[in-house]
Amino acid sequence: MATQYEVEHNVQFTEPRRGRRVDMASFFSLLNRVAETPAGGAQHNPHATPTPVDTADLFRMLQDQLLTLHTTAPTADNRSFLEQLITTLDGEIQDPPTSLRGVSQEFVDGLDRVPRKTLAEDDDCAICKIPYLEDEWCLVVALPCQGRHRFDLECVGPWLRSVGTCPMCREEMVKKKDVPVVVDDDEEDGDMMYA
């Protein structure tokens, strides 16, 4: 049965083939509560700080999603990689930090995109193991780590926001350096008029 959108726009969507994807809506809802500064800027209540219980819950939700992927891991390497991530999160759950070490949403949004034409047929995300090119609208990012590791943005985003390291090499992600604005000393007098 076609949806109203499909009927009105005379299009037909195929069923999504990305069956290993997990729903992270609850994770991001909690993340928005736990994050120290909301995307809009200042904290609504400056005295409301995340509790260790909140941060442990956030890591537990991420761990649950990775466990879901682990149960359907297509290869032993993927299963082992997911187990490493799950174990890392165990430490965060047992001894939760008072604040998240993850990166901001702005950092995630600014990650370098990998052009589709540069991807090979067998290139896949290390987290979900789905070949990038199976997704008609894949969004692959390269992390600013030494290995320039690539992931589906949808897969790596929750890890980066909460843990703040590359899932592969564990290199800390830091904000990209801002490009300094160069002021020309010759134009110090702003009141000059040109004829």
pLDDT tens digits for 104-131? 999 999 999 999 999 999 999 999 999 9
User: Are 162 and 100 spatial neighbours (Cβ–Cβ below 8 Å)?
Assistant: yes
- Segment among 52-56, 150-154, 162-166 with least mean pLDDT: 52-56
User: Are 37 and 63 spatial neighbours (Cβ–Cβ below 8 Å)?
Assistant: no
pTM comes to 0.74
The phi-psi region of residue 164 (left if phi > 0; otherwise alpha if psi is between -120 and 50; otherwise beta) is left
- Whether residue 178 is predicted with pLDDT greater than 90 in this model: the reply is no
pLDDT tens digits for 59-69? 999 999 999 99
Residue 149 — pLDDT band, cuts 50, 70, 90?
very high
pLDDT of residue 1: 54
pLDDT of residue 136: 87
Burial of 22 (0-12, 13-18, 19+ CB in 10 A): middle
Highest mean pLDDT, choosing among 5-9, 31-35, 168-172: 168-172
pLDDT of residue 179: 43
So where are the chain's domains? Answer: 21-32+50-163
Mean pLDDT (the chain) is 81
- From residue 87, alpha-carbon distances to 6, 192, 195 in Å are 43, 64, 70
Query: Amino acid identity of 96?
Result: P
